[in-house]
Amino acid sequence: MIEARRLHILRAVADHRTVTAAAAALYLTPSAVSQQLAALEQETGHRLVERGAKGVRLTPAGEILLSHTNVVLAQLERAEAELAAYSSGAAGTVTVAAFATGIAQVVAPALSRLALLAPGIRLRVQDAEGDASLPMVLDRQVDVAVAVEYRGAPPADDPRLIHVPLYAEPFDAVVPLTHRLADAAEISLAELAKDPWIGPYPGNPCHEVVVLACENAGFQPRLEHSSDDFRAVVALASADAGVALVPRSALRGMDLAGVVVRPVDGVAPTRRVFAAVRRGTEEHPLIRPVLDALEEVART
């Protein structure tokens, strides 16, 4: 009989590619993870992982078991959700990981909405960049992620996750008041090819949006200044340090006295935001109202 907790460990190792990283995500020691993998191999009668200089990879037998693992764990999540619905109703804590502007845009309003419509549900919110929150959901560190589409992210049909689209927003061009294009109604990215740029660090989904938009315009941006805080990005632009692309919602409430904000000419780069939960938890009596509240806020 295969133990479900060992399937969790197999999936964590597949996701993180090393025993050490999987152990950290599961709050276990590396030796405990190795022992559980060995026990799982004994249960199945197959070698499931191979260790190499670059980490751990699944064997063909391990890949077969992983495909069943995603189905089994999702079904167990559904069983827990139905039992929770049967037992008590909606009263408890749901942990949500979201990036800063996502918190301001949808999570905080959803929290206020839930306080009125489902007072038994308490949200615990954690600030996490768009590329960090999805692994947190998969590792069961949080219940809900508000994340951003990015290259390399789990796709919408990932068997481990349920995606709930929330909203899409354009990036606007931010240039200093003294910039040669400050009087333009719209700004073509190609005209910024020789400017110094300010933007998020590599790994931040917004960095990828900026770089891809510039590549589509025919150039590689010369990123001279880096910050994941868009207030810092705008402050640097106001100091004539360079130009930037910033999501429209991130500009709300900022001091924009030293910059000009203009829409991008043509097809604007876009940030697509969604909520994600582990497959099988989407109808949990605590999580379903949270997803509904996020969707309702996003629509309005």
How does pLDDT run across 20-63, given as a tens digit for each residue?
A: 888 888 888 888 888 888 888 888 888 888 887 777 888 888 88
Q: DSSP alpha helices (H): ranges in the chain?
A: 4-16, 19-26, 30-44, 60-87, 100-102, 108-117, 133-138, 205-216, 230-238, 287-299
Q: For position 235, what pLDDT does the model report?
A: 96
Proportion of the chain above pLDDT 90, given as a percent: 51
Where residue 123 falls among pLDDT bands split at 50, 70, 90? very high
**33-40 contact pairs (CB < 8 A, 24+):** 33/9, 36/5, 36/6, 36/9, 37/6, 37/9, 37/10, 37/13, 39/3, 39/6, 40/2, 40/3, 40/6, 40/7, 40/9, 40/10
pLDDT tens digits for range 229-269: 999 999 999 999 999 999 998 998 898 999 999 999 988 89
Q: CA–CA separation, 123 vs 110, rounded Å?
A: 9
- Whether 86 shows a pLDDT value over 60: the answer reads no
69 compared with 166, residue with greater pLDDT: 166
Contact 183, 209 (CB under 8 A): no
Contact partners, residue 104, CB within 8 Å, separation at least 6: 249, 252
> In this predicted structure, what is the pLDDT of residue 120?
84
Which of 235, 262, 66, 271 shows the shortest CA–CA distance to 158?
66
> In the block, which residue shows the tokens 């929330």?
166
| 3-class secondary-structure state, position 183 | coil
Residue 193: pLDDT band (50, 70, 90) is: very high
Phi/psi of residue 69, nearest 5 degrees: -60, -45
Predicted local confidence at residue 90, as pLDDT? 61
Q: What is the pTM of this model?
A: 0.69
pLDDT digits (tens, 9 = 90+) for 50-60: 887 777 888 88
Least Cα distance to 213 among 252, 244, 250 occurs for 244
Distance of CA 146 to the CA centre of its chain: 6
Cα angle 205, 278, 134 (rounded to 5 degrees) comes to 20
151 has pLDDT over 80: no
**What phi, psi does 199 have (nearest 5°)?**
-165, 175
> What residues contact 34, with CB distance under 8 A and at least 6 apart?
19
Residue 55: both structure tokens together: 């980490």
Kindly state the helix (H) or strand (E) to which residue 267 belongs, with its residue range. none
Label residue 191 by pLDDT band (50, 70, 90). very high
Q: Are 275 and 74 in contact (CB under 8 A)?
A: no
Which residues are CB-contacts of 236 (< 8 A; sequence separation ≥ 6)?
198, 225, 227, 242, 244
